[in-house]
């Protein structure tokens, strides 16, 4: 199915929070993969499905240890874990020093993600610039999404980063926007980046919602589903999923041709079932 690389530039906001929120409402089976070479924190931030801490020894590092003779898509789910809300995750490195011995991994990992038949992959690539090897994974993506705030310095960094991305994957921009100026912020960033580059396919938004981000760390449901974070994430997830291929027989999200522009968090609607938990996940081999 599809590989979507999520990343940000210097000083840009919470890609991991955005990846988790999008995974929680993704309209198809999905895997969130923590691929930041600088190290991640999902293993410490979110509980597993049994309520306990995730296993720090199982994830990208254990996958890399088994993949030196070749990495195949069917190997990946043997190293994933499941969050309390039901979302499958491949936890990342715990510190940047571990990336030194895995410089060879990013290209094969991107190809394995792109060939995964039973789920889309949201690859959290963190902040770009410090580890150029991650570009080998990004080059395999169907879509690259850069996150930014609407401030002048963040947008200036974003414009430079867009010019440095590898050619090939379609690219989009998501503005982490203050709900009080949600639509104007997105429109202003759209005006700037589309004037600077003709390679940006779309500009969308995600609400800056610290309270919603805190709810995402705990038991999912009820209050989280009504948060601005999840309401805007659901709109954004539909737009992103519509831009990547689905496996034969997999239902495409509604409006797959190109969803309309979101009306903003004030008019976003929760799902009919009122649940901010992921759709059913692919079965894991050997479980």
pLDDT digits (tens, 9 = 90+) for 26-69: 999 999 999 998 888 888 888 888 888 899 889 999 999 888 88
Kindly state the average pLDDT of the residues 94-122.
89
Q: How confident is the model at residue 261 (pLDDT cuts 50, 70, 90)?
A: very low
String of DSSP letters for 22-58: HHHH-SS-EEEEE--TT---HHHHSBBTTSSBP-TTS
Closest CA relative to residue 29, chosen from 92, 91, 87, 113: 87
Higher pLDDT pick, 99 / 119: 119
Evaluate whether residue 278 is within a structural domain: no
Kindly state the average pLDDT of the residues 175-201.
91
Evaluate whether residue 216 is within a structural domain: yes
Question: Would you state the structure tokens that stand for residue 145, as one six-digit string?
Answer: 């999404």
Question: Would you state the structure tokens that stand for residue 202, as one six-digit string?
Answer: 């779309």
Evaluate whether residue 279 is within a structural domain: no
pTM of the model: 0.85
Q: How far is CA 240 from CA 5, 33, 107, 172, 215, in A?
A: 11, 16, 22, 9, 23
- Asked if residue 85 has pLDDT above 70, the reply is yes
Tell me the residue range of the domain where 229 lies.
Answer: 3-241
Could you give the angle at the alpha carbon of 16 between the alpha carbons of 216 and 219, nearest 5°?
Answer: 15
Structure confidence by residue, pLDDT tens digits, 232-245:
999 999 999 999 87
Evaluate whether residue 282 is within a structural domain: no
Evaluate whether residue 126 is within a structural domain: yes
- Asked if residue 10 has pLDDT above 80, the reply is no
Closest CA relative to residue 87, chosen from 133, 59, 48, 54: 48
Evaluate whether residue 280 is within a structural domain: no
- Asked if residue 187 has pLDDT above 90, the reply is yes
CATH of the domain at 115: 3.40.50.300
The total number of structural domains that make up the chain: 1
Neighbours of 153 (CB within 10 A): 10
Q: How confident is the model at residue 250 (pLDDT cuts 50, 70, 90)?
A: low
pLDDT of residue 161: 84
Evaluate whether residue 113 is within a structural domain: yes
Structure confidence by residue, pLDDT tens digits, 189-209:
999 988 877 789 899 999 999
Evaluate whether residue 252 is within a structural domain: no
């Amino acid at each position: 199915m599809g590989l979507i690389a999520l990343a940000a530039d210097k000083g840009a906001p919470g890609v991991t929070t955005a990846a988790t929120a999008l995974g929680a409402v993704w309209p198809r089976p999905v895997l969130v993969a923590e691929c930041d070479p600088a190290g991640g924190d999902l293993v410490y931030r979110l509980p597993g499905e049994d309520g306990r801490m995730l296993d720090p020894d199982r994830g990208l590092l254990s996958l890399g240890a088994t993949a030196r003779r070749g990495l195949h898509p069917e190997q990946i789910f043997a190293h994933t874990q499941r969050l309390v809300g039901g979302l499958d995750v491949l936890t990342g490195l715990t510190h940047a020093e571990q990336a030194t011995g895995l410089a060879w991994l990013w290209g094969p990992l991107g190809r394995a993600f792109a060939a995964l038949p039973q789920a889309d992959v949201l690859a959290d690539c963190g902040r770009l610039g410090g580890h150029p090897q991650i570009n080998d994974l990004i080059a395999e993506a169907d879509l690259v999404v850069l996150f930014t705030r609407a401030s002048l310095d963040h947008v200036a960094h974003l414009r430079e980063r867009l010019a440095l991305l590898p050619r090939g994957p379609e690219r989009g921009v998501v503005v982490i926007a203050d709900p009080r100026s949600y639509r104007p912020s997105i429109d202003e960033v759209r005006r700037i980046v589309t004037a600077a580059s003709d390679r940006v396919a779309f500009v969308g938004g995600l609400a800056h919602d610290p309270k919603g981000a805190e709810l995402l760390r705990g038991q999912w449901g009820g209050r989280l589903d009504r948060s601005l974070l999840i309401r805007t994430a659901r709109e954004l997830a539909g737009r992103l999923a519509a831009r990547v291929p689905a496996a034969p027989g997999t239902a495409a999200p509604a409006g797959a041709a190109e969803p309309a522009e979101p009306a903003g968090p004030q008019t976003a609607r929760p799902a009919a079932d009122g649940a901010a938990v992921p759709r059913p996940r692919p079965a894991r081999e050997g479980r």
